[in-house]
Structure formats: structure tokens, C-alpha cells
Amino acid sequence: MSLPPATDFRPLGLRLLNAVFPRVWNAGLLPYPDLQEATLDAMATKSTGLSDFGDDSFARSQLRMLLPALESEAQLNPMGRVIAHGTLLKSLKERLWAQDLFKRHPEILDRPLAPPIVVIGQMRSGTTRLQRLLGQDPRFAALRLYESMSPVPWPSSQRNPKRDPRVGYTQRAFAFLNYINPGIAATHPTGALEIDEELGLLDASFTGAAIEAQRRVPSFARYCEATDQTPAYLHLRRLLQLASWFRGQDPATPFVLKMPQHMQDLPALMAVFPDAKLVFIHRDPAAVLGSSASMVWNQMVVQSDSVDPHWIGAEWLHKAHHRAAVTAALRPKLAAAQQIDVRFADMNADWVAVMRRIYDFLGVPFDATAHAAMAAYLARAAREHRHDEHRYTLEDFGLDARVINAGFADYRARFDIPFEVPAAMRGAAIAQDPGYGIGEGVPA
């Protein structure tokens, strides 16, 4: 199987928008979505009536690497330019709102945070499922998707927290994205009120793999890999304090966090959260890479008409190796008592047994309430989230399972990771992503 051109994945509405946007811009009927720092700053300050971004020197350095990459490398189509402009402007406005809140409510930044529980693993290794299961336990806290997408309460949110407009905004945004390409929902089923990773809290500092997964920006990716991301994690911590304060949450309740990005940024994560409890999950690297490449491709085809699946395969193979190397180098320096390893295959075989191990590690009883809540979540996810459309092969992305397995041989041996791809198919294919596990529709 080979992937058709990105332009083949265009519902009529998106094709019309891509055709109409340039004409509207040229006619002056709508402002051109300029990706210049000064323009974005001016729009953010005018829209919010605020001008203090706080200490944003790190975010500025990230933004100044990202903007030229968007212009010269990403090959954005008109919709891609609209989305990029909108997300950057949104992040700038939220930095202004956050700084205003921190000045008006200094108690936010004095608020203690319990050591978080952090799920860490490669993209598509089962981290989402593990975070969502832990997040069902009322003794733990987790961000909902709307809180991650818009981590700073809007002024209207602050006036009426019970009718937070961020929920509706997130619902509309994902409905639109799923219309543009239903494959996005197939690869990562979610919803505005669903527990989800804290990607938006890194977006606030113009960093993180969410940017790279949507657009081809290799110069920016290499810059992030070589740059100490501690300032981004310090801001992430401030945003968690803000979320806890806005919710009125008990400060003793630990957040359950998860992002594949944490593998790459593990030194920064541990610098900011030195007492974090780390749950590492491991999955067949060939299955991880195939599923990751498919997910990235499904996102990139929305914003660009020139998407090279073989480049995606090579890029995310590099990222998987880089993340594994960073993690392997730091883990021996961390206390054994603050880290545990689990396997994706064991989660599929007996998730209750794995959760009991994790709870023993956390020093928290795995009680009937937690068990029932997790079982109810799995049943609901199986009903609501289908993924029949998520089909691909490794060959689609220029990947070969034998090459992947050779590159990760030591890793596979260390954690005794079983093969997911049948021996006869290891050179090429995965017919359908098995990454959901534990029944139909449960996300990886």
C-alpha cells in the first residue's frame, strides 16, 4: 500500500477554503495571516488590552526559531497558515492573560504542587491509556483537553467559571479538525472533557512535539533537541499551579502528567519536578514507529499540500532514537524508588495486574473505587471511540521493522519487549494499528 498525495484528503469545504482564502486576502476583505513576531505581538496586545508578557525571554527565543521555519520549511497551504497564525496568536494572548492573573493573584505562584505522577514513553506506546486510567481515580488530578488546549482561563472564564467557554471552543475546534480529516480522530480519540496530555502547556513556550507533529520544521526540531528546556517546564509548572487554583483543587492532590516529549526533555522535567514519580511504559519499537508516522501524517496533510511520508518516517525514527538516548542516559542517575517500568503488552493482557503494580509503587491502595472507575472508562471508550480507519504499513513511510528492531535491540532486550508484528511481516507491514488494546477503541 502507498499513500496518495496529501491533496487527496480534502473534503469539499476545505478545498473551497484553500481556494478562497488567497482571493479574500488579496482583495483586502480579511487580513493576511502574517507570521511576523511584531505583527503577532501587536494583535495580541490590541485584542487583550494588555502589554506585559512577563519573563518570556525563553519563549521569544523559541518563537524566533519557529517563525522562519514555518515560512521556509513547512510549505503551509492557506488553511495551514491560518491555523499556524491562530495558534501562535492564541499562545501570545494567553501569556498576557497569565501574567495579568499572576500579578492580580500572587497566591497562584505560591500554591504548592504535590510531586506529580508522570507517565513516560514513546509516542503511541500506551501512554494515553495509562494516563486516562490513573486519571479516573479521584485521589489524582489530570488536565482535561480543554485545559490543555487553553491552559489560561479566558477573561470570560474568570467571570463565570461554571460556564467556561474554553469547553465549547475545544469542541468546535476538534469537530472542525475531524471534518477536515477523520483520520485525526482515528489515531487519537479524544474530546473536550477527556483527560489528555499537557501539550498546550508547552505550546505556551513555543516548544514541544505538537508543533513538529503538525508541520515540517526540522531546523526548529533540531534547535529544541539541543536547547535546555527547563524554562519551558518552569512555565508549565506555573500553568499547573494556575489550573489547580482555578479549579479550587486540594494542593495535596498530585497531577497525572504524560507526554512523549518528556523523554526528550527528561533533564528539564526532573529539574523542575525532582520528586516526581515516573511510570515508564515500553512497546515494540516497530509498532510505535509505524503508528507514530501515521498519526503525524494525518496531522500534516491538513496544513500542507506537500507531505512526504518517507521524510516523516525518517524524522520520527530519529526522534525515537534521540528520546530513548536522553532517557537512558539520565535514568541511572535517578533514585530507583521514583521509577517503575511496565510493558504495553502486559497492559493488554491484564491491565488490573499492571495497575496494582503501579499503585504499590505509588504507595496508594488500589481500591474498589479506583478499579470500578477505570473499568467504566474502558467500557465507555470502547463504545465511543472507533478506529477502523487507522490503517497503514511501515512501507508507506519508508520504514522496515528489521532495521528498527536492529536499532533498538538493546532496548528491546533490556525490557523483554515482545514483537507485535508477525515474523512473516516484520520487513514491512502493520495492517491495522493494534495500539488501542484492551478492546476496540481504547486509545494508546
Helix (H) or strand (E) holding 31: none
User: In Å, what is the CA distance from 440 to each residue of 68, 99, 240, 437?
Assistant: 42, 43, 32, 7
pLDDT at 443: 61
pTM, entire model? 0.92
What is d(CA 120, CA 340) in angstroms, rounded to the nearest whole number? 10
What is d(CA 106, CA 116) in angstroms, rounded to the nearest whole number? 22
The SS3 call for residue 288 is: helix
For every one of its 444 residues, what pLDDT tens digit does the chain have, with 9 covering 90 and above? 467 787 887 788 888 999 999 999 999 999 999 999 999 999 999 999 999 999 999 999 999 999 999 999 999 999 999 999 999 999 999 999 999 999 999 999 999 999 999 999 999 999 999 999 999 999 999 999 999 999 999 998 777 777 899 999 999 988 887 777 666 666 667 788 999 999 999 999 999 888 999 999 999 999 999 999 999 999 999 999 999 999 999 999 999 999 999 999 999 999 999 999 999 999 999 999 999 999 999 889 999 999 999 999 999 999 999 999 999 999 999 999 999 999 999 999 999 999 999 999 999 999 999 999 999 999 998 887 655 455 688 999 999 999 999 999 999 999 999 998 654 344 444 444 433 333 334 566
181: burial class by Cβ within 10 Å (0-12, 13-18, 19+)?
Answer: buried
For the residues of 156-200, what is the DSSP string, one character each? HHHH-GGG-HHHHHHHHHHHHHHHH-THHHHHS---TTSB---HH
The residues near 44 (Cβ < 8 Å, ≥ 6 apart) are: 89, 92, 93, 96
pLDDT at 384: 76
H-assigned helices in 261-308? 261-264, 266-272, 285-303
- Beta strands 256-258 and 339-343 are unpaired
Q: What strands lie across the sheet with 277-282, from one edge to the other?
A: 256-258, 117-120, 277-282, 339-343
**Contacts by residues 3-8 (CB-CB < 8 Å, ≥ 24 positions apart):** 3/297, 3/309, 3/392, 3/396, 5/305, 6/300, 6/301, 6/304, 6/305, 6/306, 6/307, 7/305
Residues 357-391, buried b or exposed e (16+ Cβ, 10 A)? bbbebbeeebeeebbebbeebbeebeeebebeebe
pLDDT at 429: 42
In this structure, what DSSP letter does residue 278 have? E
What is d(CA 110, CA 129) in angstroms, rounded to the nearest whole number? 32
State the cell numbers at 342.
Answer: 511496565
Q: Side chain identity at 38, as an amino acid letter?
A: A
H-assigned helices in 216-284? 218-226, 230-247, 261-264, 266-272
Helix, strand counts (H, E) of the chain: 22, 4
DSSP bridge pairs for 342: 281
Q: How many CA atoms lie within 13 A of 196 on its CB side?
A: 20
Compute the C-alpha angle 98/303/58, nearest 5°.
35
* Cα 208–chain centre separation: 8
* Cα 16–chain centre separation: 29
What is d(CA 69, CA 416) in angstroms, rounded to the nearest whole number? 40
What is d(CA 430, CA 432) in angstroms, rounded to the nearest whole number? 6
pLDDT at 105: 97
H-assigned helices in 335-400? 344-349, 351-362, 368-384
Pick from 145, 140, 138, 120: which is nearest to 130 by CA? 120
Residue 363 sits at φ, ψ, to 5 deg, of: 75, 30
Pick from 244, 259, 224, 282: which is nearest to 415 by CA? 282
